[in-house]
Amino acid sequence: MLSDEERRAIETEMSRYEHKRAASVDALKIIQRHRGWVDDAALRDAAELLGGSPAELDGVATFYNLIFRHPVGRHVILLCDSISCWICGYEPVHRELRERLGIAMGQTTPDGRFTLLPTACLGACDGAPVLLIDDDLHRNLTPGCLDTILANYD
Amino acid sequence: MAETPLTQNIQPDREPLALRDYQRAGGYQALRKALQEMDPQRIIAVVKDSKLRGRGGAGFPTGTKWSFVPQGEDAPQRKYLVANADEMEPGTFKDRLLMEGDPHQFVEALIISAYAIGAQTVYIFLRDEYRLAARHLERAIHEARAADLLGRDILGSGFAVDLHIHTSAGRYICGEETALLNALEGRRAIPRAKPPYPQQAGLWGWPTVVNNVETLCNVPHIVNRGAEWYRKLSRTEDGGTKLFGVSGHVNRPGCWELPMGTSMRELLEEHAGGMQAGYRFRGVLPGGGSTPFLVAEHLDLPLDFDHLAQAGSRLGTGTMVVLDDRTSLLGFLGNLEHFYAQESCGWCTPCRDGLPWVERVLAALARGEGQPGDIEMLHRHTRFLGPGKTFCAHAPGAMGPLESALKYFPEDFEAGIRQPVRTTLEAG
Ligand SMILES: Cc1cc2nc3c(=O)[nH]c(=O)nc-3n(C[C@H](O)[C@H](O)[C@H](O)COP(=O)(O)O)c2cc1C
Ligand code: SF4
Ligand code: FES
């Protein structure tokens, strides 16, 4: 079930396009902002609101790497694995992150604190290697600086 | 000092100019001039005359693109302008700077450009990860609306335009202009067949212009100062300045606004500070992850669309990735092709099946476990996935670095082929 708040937010987005279906990605992101991920019941309700089928909306949802159809941790770490970051030290940073968190790419820590995901170029290649946690971009990473960064997120 | 119109208001680590300061620095003068003194046709003519070419990768002349939008009584009444702010080409970091650093410049550019093509609605198609850019743009849009620079009756001229930010949710292919239109309509973001081109039938079938952020940011300056001034900013035939970037093992990775036609040597040595100690230059992707390698012999080429095309590469986004002698070429290519394989939309077979194959072969070669015939196989893929063989330019883009690497660095590939273990039978 969509909450009233989610429903209202989706309806506002729908008004910004010529056809309401265009608000599909906006709707998925609104749900995700409220729940952390997009569950089946919310997806079904949103599809109805947008005037399409759940299967169609799921087809859109699963196309995007930043729409989560599974629960994720409280903080999502997006580690850039594209070319400039790879050249400038992605691998040692990745190794250290995996060890610190005790998880592999795509997994969530058992305490639900972090999910670790790979991402394509974050458009900050002059600060490579970089990662994004929630809204914060962290640049010029070294394995040694990860502790301090992670400590900011409980 | 050379002029830097696009970045003149941008200072790193400082909040961008708010509306009042932006106007004090001359901002929204171009919008006033456009609305009060120029009809749309005149603006299109000036942009054409300025020799501004698209900064999104393909370098298409902007004024010409605009002139394809049907105008007049019989033309479709609704039109759209879409700013491509998806910036996901590996190694590219320039549009971020413009949106975070001077959001009002971009907003002004959008209003003038919408006026020029007759669009009533503008969408900024922004990648989700650009959270700071989103915040800065939202504030600028809000300020512009409150000051009647945006909305129903702009500066009392009767011209009306609405501006929306659409934040996306990942996937490189969304930056391809027809996939972007599908994404905006809330469909799976697979490319559309061309023709019809978006200028004829784009968003919901209406004429639509898709332009890159940097391309658009040039427009207010061209309107203000004229086509001739703009052409003269450049050292070559293509007009204007360009945001050039350098990443990799150089001393000062960064992004600078320089005259179009600046040489690669000047960019690498003076601005990026040369290679870091212990690293030697081997080659460069001059304009992002889908542009073919250039090597030392090309260092004195002026960086513009035609010179790089003649040298077998492309200016692309103008942000270069440097390959050094301590980075494995096969690893470098493997990283790129992994990206392209993962980001393929899966619509057409050569791209969907060919890219993972290329990725696997490169990985085997990097481990020294390549098979005889692998190099020929890679050559074959550069043809089967080349221009004209796939539904969109994603796969040809993926083949650019590979094909040029096979040409300039064949020894790296040969070294990856496993040496046959001779059995006693053969030996005897
Ligand atoms: C796979 C692919 C991804 C693209 N991504 C972008 C992008 O992120 N930003 C962009 O401006 N252009 C991108 N382009 C180019 C656009 O299709 C289009 O040519 C461009 O936005 C037009 O703007 P311009 O004429 O101002 O350069 C991409 C093209 C392809 C084939
Ligand atoms: S070339 Fe690749 S990305 Fe483009 S339409 Fe075909 S499968 Fe999709
Ligand atoms: S390659 Fe990592 S930010 Fe560009």
Q: What pLDDT tens digit does each residue of chain B (428 aa) get? A: 689 999 999 998 899 999 999 999 999 999 999 999 999 999 999 999 999 999 999 999 999 999 999 999 999 999 999 999 999 999 999 999 999 999 999 999 999 999 999 999 999 999 999 999 999 999 999 999 999 999 999 999 999 999 999 999 999 999 999 999 999 999 999 999 999 999 999 999 999 999 999 999 999 999 999 999 999 999 999 999 999 999 999 999 999 999 999 999 999 999 999 999 999 999 999 999 999 999 999 999 999 999 999 999 999 999 999 999 999 999 999 999 999 999 999 999 999 999 999 999 999 999 999 999 999 999 999 999 999 999 999 999 999 999 999 999 999 999 999 877 666 665 54
Q: Give yes or no: residues A113 and A143 share one domain.
A: yes
B358: phi then psi, degrees, rounded to nearest 5: -60, -45
**Mutation site, B77, B82, B95, B128, interface A, largest A CB count within 10 A:** B128
Q: For residue B38, what is the domain's CATH number?
A: 3.40.50.11540
Q: Which of B200, B232, B264 is the last residue of a domain?
A: B232
Same domain, B314 and B361: no
The secondary element (H helix, E strand) that includes residue B283 is: strand B281-285
CA B65 to CA B202: how far, in whole Å? 13
In a domain, B424, yes or no: no
Residue where one domain finishes, among candidates B232, B258, B288: B232
Cβ–ligand 1 distance for B165 under 6 Å, the answer no
User: Do residue A92 and residue A113 come from a single domain?
Assistant: yes
Are A43 and A99 in a shared domain? Answer: no
| Dihedral of alpha carbons B262, B339, B345, B387, sign | positive
Q: What distance in Å separates the CA atoms of residue B394 and residue B173, rounded to the nearest whole number?
A: 8
Report the pLDDT value the prediction gives residue B421, as an integer from 0 to 100. Answer: 67
Residue A69 lies in a domain: no
Q: Cβ atoms within 10 A of the Cβ of B72, count? A: 6
Inspect the interface and report whether the beta carbons of B319 and A21 lie closer than 8 Å: no
Average pLDDT taken over every residue of chain A: 97
Ligand found nearest the CA of B316: 1
Ligand 2 near B344 CB (within 6 A): yes
- Confirm whether A70 is domain-assigned: no
Question: Is the domain of B286 the same as that of B171?
Answer: no
User: Which residues, in sequence order, are bridge partners of residue B286?
Assistant: B288
Q: Is the distance from CB of B249 to CB of B279 less than 8 angstroms?
A: yes
CB B382, CB B296: distance < 8 Å: no
For residue B403, what is the domain's CATH number? 1.20.1440.230
pLDDT tens, position by position, for chain A (154 residues)? 899 999 999 999 999 999 999 999 999 999 999 999 999 999 999 999 999 999 999 999 999 999 999 999 999 999 999 999 999 999 999 999 999 999 999 999 999 999 999 999 999 999 999 999 999 999 999 999 999 999 999 9
Any ligand 1 atom below 6 A from CB of B5 = no
Same domain, yes or no: A45 and A108: no
User: How do residues A47-61 score in pLDDT, each as one tens digit?
Assistant: 999 999 999 999 999
Determine the Cα–Cα distance for residues B417 and B373; give it in Å rounded to an integer.
9
Asked if the ipTM is above 0.85, the reply is yes
C-alpha–C-alpha distance, residues A109 and A116, integer Å: 9
The two structure tokens encoding residue A130: 């970089």
Residue B357 structural domain? 329-414
Q: Do B91 and A63 touch (CB under 8 A)?
A: no
CA–CA separation, B68 and B86 (whole Å): 24
- Residue A153 contacts by C-beta under 8 Å, 6 or more apart in sequence? A74, A75, A113, A114, A133, A134
CA-based radius of gyration for chain A: 18
Strand residue runs (E) in A5-113 = 75-80
Residues A87 and A52 in one domain: no
Can you name the residues that pair with B242 across neighbouring β-strands? B258
DSSP for B134-182 reads: HHHHHHHHHHHHHTTSSBSSGGGSS--BEEEEEE----GGGGSHHHHHH
DSSP annotation of B316 reads T
User: Considering only residues 22 to 81 of chain B, which have any Cβ-Cβ distance to chain A shorter than 8 Å?
Assistant: none
Q: Which of A63, A91, A106 is the last residue of a domain?
A: A63
Cβ of B91 and A82 within 8 Å?
yes
Q: How many CB pairs under 8 A join A and B?
A: 135
Does the beta carbon of B177 lie inside 6 Å of ligand 1?
Answer: yes
Q: What domain range includes position A128?
A: 75-150
Total domains in the fold of chain B: 3
| pLDDT value for B428 | 45
Q: How far apart are the first and last CA of chain B?
A: 74
- B335 shares a domain with B309: no
